[in-house]
Each structure stands twice: as C-alpha cells, then as structure tokens.
Structure 1
Amino acid sequence: MKINKHQGRLLLQLQAGEQLPFSKFTAPLWKSFFEDGVFVIRQVNRRSKQVKLTKDFPLATYLKNKFGIEELEAYVLLLEGQMEAGSRSRAVQVSGNSKVRGQRTFFGFMVSVIDPVKARLNGQELMLLPTEGAFTFIYDYEGFSLPEDTVIVGVENAENFRQLEAQRYMFPQKPCVFVSRYPQNKDFIKWMSVRNYSYIHFGDIDFAGLKIFKSEYFQHLKGRAKFFIPENLDNLLMKYGNAGLYDRQFDQYQLNDLPDYLLKAMAVLHRHKKCLEQEVFIGL
C-alpha cells in the first residue's frame, strides 16, 4: 500500500507535533500504523478523539523500512509536483521510484546484552558486550548464532532497550540477548523461525502490546514465544496503571485465540480498568 500526498501531509503535521482529528485516519492504510504503535489516540470528550505521534517513535526509520520513503517532506513535495528539476530527481531517488521501490539499505536487527554472551557470526567468534550508549547491529543475520540455551527477549520501547542494566532484576536467565523491535522488519522472525531459542516478548502490557505480540511473534513462533507478565501485575497496575491508555485502546483491538495466561492478564487489566506502560519497569 502506498502513501498518497494527502496522507503524507497528515504525517508531516503529526511529525511537527500536531494532534489531528481521529476522523482523518479511517483509511485502510492507517490500520497498520495503529497496530504498530506509531500513533496514540487521545480522548478529547465523549464524541471526539484526536491522534498524535507516539512519543519518541522513530517515524523516519519506520517509513524507510515499510514504505521505502527516506525523506518524507521531499516525498510529499514530489507527489504534489512542487519539486524543481534537480530537486525532483533527488526526491525520486529517496522516495522509492520504479527502479528502487521495495529495496532496503539495511538488513538485520539490533541486539544488546546485560552480561557478555559469546556468539558466532559467519563462522567467527563474536563477543557481545554490554556497552553503555552503544548496541550491536547484526546485518548478516543468517550467519548469526548463539548458545543453545540463550533466551531471546524482544523489547518494544527504545528507552527500555537503552536501559537494560536497570531492568536486570526481571531477567535472571543466562545467557540472555535482547533484540530491539526497531528498525521494524521481518528479518528477526526469519532468523528465529530456523532457530530453537526461547522468546520472551517484553512490551507495554496493554491491548496494543498484546496485538503486536500475537500478530508479529506468536503466530510464527507458537509455543516458543511468551509475553512477559510480572507476578505482581495487580500491584503494579494499582501504583502505576494508566487509565487513559485503557480507555483509548479498549474498543480498538479484538483479541482472541490467546494463551490462557494472557487471557488471565487481560482480565486483570479489565478489573483495574488500567494498562501498564513498559517504562515503569526501569529501575523498580
């Protein structure tokens, strides 16, 4: 599906920090944006909702990986016919013309660790080390392997991925390798599909997070994939739960065919009428 000039303009407005009426985002294109957590919905009153860009969401990376758009503003100007000849030529190259459409510059996924893990890449030893402020990007992922008992933890939010040391208490498994959900592509699932590592999905405990887990991971990995639910979810919801997030998402997602432990977790969310954002786990 292609982003048209009107939709591109809406994205530019959101990128600039504006909030727009929900009624502008009913086209089929926007469904994946909501499912992928690009947008959040703000309930203004009983009849009015507004859409804004999720805080710190890497929109440029998302548009590049999913739509081949490297410069959103140039892409929109090109569609509107406002580019001069020289600029237009450049814009065509960065916005996905017939020669480059669908091609990606980078393949692979980003990993990090709390403790050193000895991996292998294309037959060579690769020591994954915890380095503050830096991560490891695995480009030739088909040649990447880890010890058989490694637990893979998929992290939704950038801040949680950046502050793994502050969340050590939640992941006593060793060895443990953390994988960022962004940049978003299917390379990680392709790699996991031919490996036997256990997978834990660590994300927001809300309806959008459960949808992401079900559609992007559980449907491919089945019993090897678990969603991280803390034992003290009741207490965490009472202390840190977000009622507004619950209200915004309640009618958006139809979730069924989930494992029993996730149905029980959803019942807890409904009992408290709150959801839990992943960032609360940092340094608890």
Structure 2
Amino acid sequence: MKMTCALIEKLIRLANGDSIPAGALKGELFECMISDGILVVITRGCRKSYRASDEQSLRNYVATHYDIRDLEAYFALLKKDNVSRAEQVRITGNSKVKQQRSFRGFLVNCYEPISVILAGRQMELLPEDGTFTFIYDFDRFSISEDIVIIGVENPENFRYIRKQKRLFDSYLPKNTKLLFVSRYPQEQSRDLMEWLLSVSNRYIHFGDLDLAGVHIYLSEYYCHLGERASFLIPQDYETRILSGNRERYENQYSKFGKMEIADIRIVPLVDCIHRLHRGYDQEGFIMEEDAENSECVADNLL
C-alpha cells in the first residue's frame, strides 16, 4: 500500500484524538483498522465519523502492520524535497519509501587549473588527461564570476578539450579561464541547468554546426539563460559547413527547418546552413588539431 501525505496526515489526526468523517476514511488501511477495533464509530444523527479507540494503540498498530514507527517523522519525510536513502532507512527502515535519484550531478573538465568551492571548501580543479570530475553536490559548487562556462554537446569533444585549445583561444580573450561542462551522461536530468541558473557566469554552447545543434542550444539553454548564453560560432564557420554533410541537413530539415530563431546572433549561421544545405560535426575541430600537431612534428624532424 502506498502511503501518501494525505493518508499519513489523517492517521496523525486520529492518533491525536481527532474524529474524521467516515467518507474521508476510504481504503483498505482504514477498513482493516475498523475491523480490528482500532477505530470506533461516532454517530450524530445521520452523520457517521470515526476516532481512535486508544491513541497509543493506533500508533502501535501502524508500527506493527506498516513499519511506520513515527507518524510525524514519516510525514515530514514525505513532504521533504530531497531525502537521502540513508535518511529514509533511519526513519522507516526502507530506502525506497520516496523515489529519489541517487546519482545526481554533472561532469566538468578543464585544461588549466581553476580554483572552485565545493561544500564550503576551496579546491583546485584540474582533471588528468583522460579523466573527468563529477560534481555530485552541485548545489554547493561555485566558481568565480570571471570563469566562462563552455557546454560541450558531444562526449568526444569533451574528452579532448586540450586538442581544441587553439579554437577557444581564438574565440575568447587571452587568459580567459574556462570550465567545460557536459550534457552527458545526465542529459535527461535538470541538474546542470539548475546549477547554471544559480550562477551568473557567461555560458557558451559548443555544439554541431547544424540544425539539430542550433535546436539543442535554443531549446535547452538559451530559453532558460537568455542573453547570458551564446553559441560558439568560429570565424571560419562557412568553410567548415561547406565541407560538411549534406545528408545530415536533409534528415534534420523536416524537424528543425522551420524552427523559430529566438537568438538573432545565430541567424547568419542558420542562413549559411540553409544556403549550403549542409551541417558540420564539431568532432571536426579535434581532427584538425591532430593534423596540425602531426605537421609540427614533421617540421621538427626536418
């Protein structure tokens, strides 16, 4: 039987000596309590209500049959927004009384050390290459206002941020501190957006230069963050899109071709995508950086 706030509230009233109209005590739980003599009827003319025959007996009955040892604590638990499974076990003996996501938060990355505050403690954030940091306690995670947050759409680009440093250096002022955040693997949750809304930092969305990438930016970020958010559009975007994929554009057009462009700053990008009938995958930035590195190695050997 599912214990709801309304049901527990009625049990608390009965346990405190109140009487409740019979019409409000529907369901198997109250039928059993009436049958077992825990509740007794009170008749006033044609009106019928019930009260506990003995208040402590009612509490003992609920504890024995439903493992609710403290009605008031149980009620407070149900009303609480965020309840850990450990707290549920302490109060009820059951970690699944209230559905709660046990894996919350989002991934962060950076290629230069950043000073952050987590749970009241200052720490230096700099994951080793090939690793990420998962911020679980994000409601107690803060960064200085001068740090620019870059939301990375695709996992591979998030993995290889160091190989795309030249792109970010060309797009932003020198010595800008960057914190990279990822939509994956928690894209179904609102944890990242809740955190972004709690800070005032500039947000840049780094995604595919195609209709779907624009839609993700507009529908998931710009609609919530407004002008504080922007889309990363490289200076050579037209050249990149020209070398992009035509089939990608054709597959996306039926769904996103007529979308409203709320952020006028990306209108030139969208116009270019429509004019060239192509889209460009952001993973191309990684490949270009690798190729450049290879050329540098070859030059050094010569």
TM-score w.r.t. structure 1 length? Answer: 0.62
Matches of 1:102 and 1:276 in 2, distance apart? 41
**1:126 aligned to which of 117, 123, 126:** 123
The 8 Å contact of residues 115 and 130 in structure 1, kept in 2 or not, is answered as no
* Counterpart mapping for 1:105-184 below 5 A: 105-172=102-169, 173=172, 174-182=176-184, 183-184=186-187
* Secondary structure class of the residue paired with 1:252: helix
Higher fraction of helix = 2
Percent of residue pairs bearing the same amino acid type: 40
Tell me whether 1:246 sits opposite 2:245 in the alignment.
no
The residue type paired with residue 146 of structure 2 is: D
The residue type paired with residue 213 of structure 1 is: Y
The 8 Å contact of residues 111 and 178 in structure 1, kept in 2 or not, is answered as yes
The 8 Å contact of residues 156 and 202 in structure 1, kept in 2 or not, is answered as yes
The CA deviation at 1:130 is 3.9
- Change over 3 Å in CA distance of 1:102–1:278 after alignment to 2: farther
The residue type paired with residue 197 of structure 2 is: S
The CA deviation at 1:246 is 0.4
Matches of 2:204 and 2:149 in 1, distance apart? 6
Aligned residue in 1 for 2:194: 190
The alignment covers a number of residue pairs equal to 185
Aligned residue in 2 for 1:55: none
**Moved runs in structure 1, 4+ residues, more than 6 A?**
none
The 8 Å contact of residues 108 and 139 in structure 1, kept in 2 or not, is answered as yes
Matches of 1:279 and 1:102 in 2, distance apart? 38
The 8 Å contact of residues 108 and 138 in structure 1, kept in 2 or not, is answered as yes
Rg (Cα) greater in structure: 2
The CA deviation at 1:234 is 1.2
The 8 Å contact of residues 202 and 227 in structure 1, kept in 2 or not, is answered as yes
Matches of 1:101 and 1:227 in 2, distance apart? 39
* Counterpart mapping for 1:1-284 below 5 A: 103-172=100-169, 173=172, 174-182=176-184, 183-184=186-187, 185-239=189-243, 241-253=244-256, 254-284=258-288
The residue type paired with residue 263 of structure 1 is: V
* Secondary structure class of the residue paired with 2:112: coil
- Change over 3 Å in CA distance of 1:100–1:275 after alignment to 2: farther
Indicate the structure whose relative CO is greater, using CA pairs within 8 Å and at least 6 residues apart. 1
Matches of 1:166 and 1:100 in 2, distance apart? 47
The CA deviation at 1:261 is 2.3
Q: Deviations over 1:134-164 (max 9, x none)?
A: 1000011111111210000001111000000
TM-score w.r.t. structure 2 length? Answer: 0.59
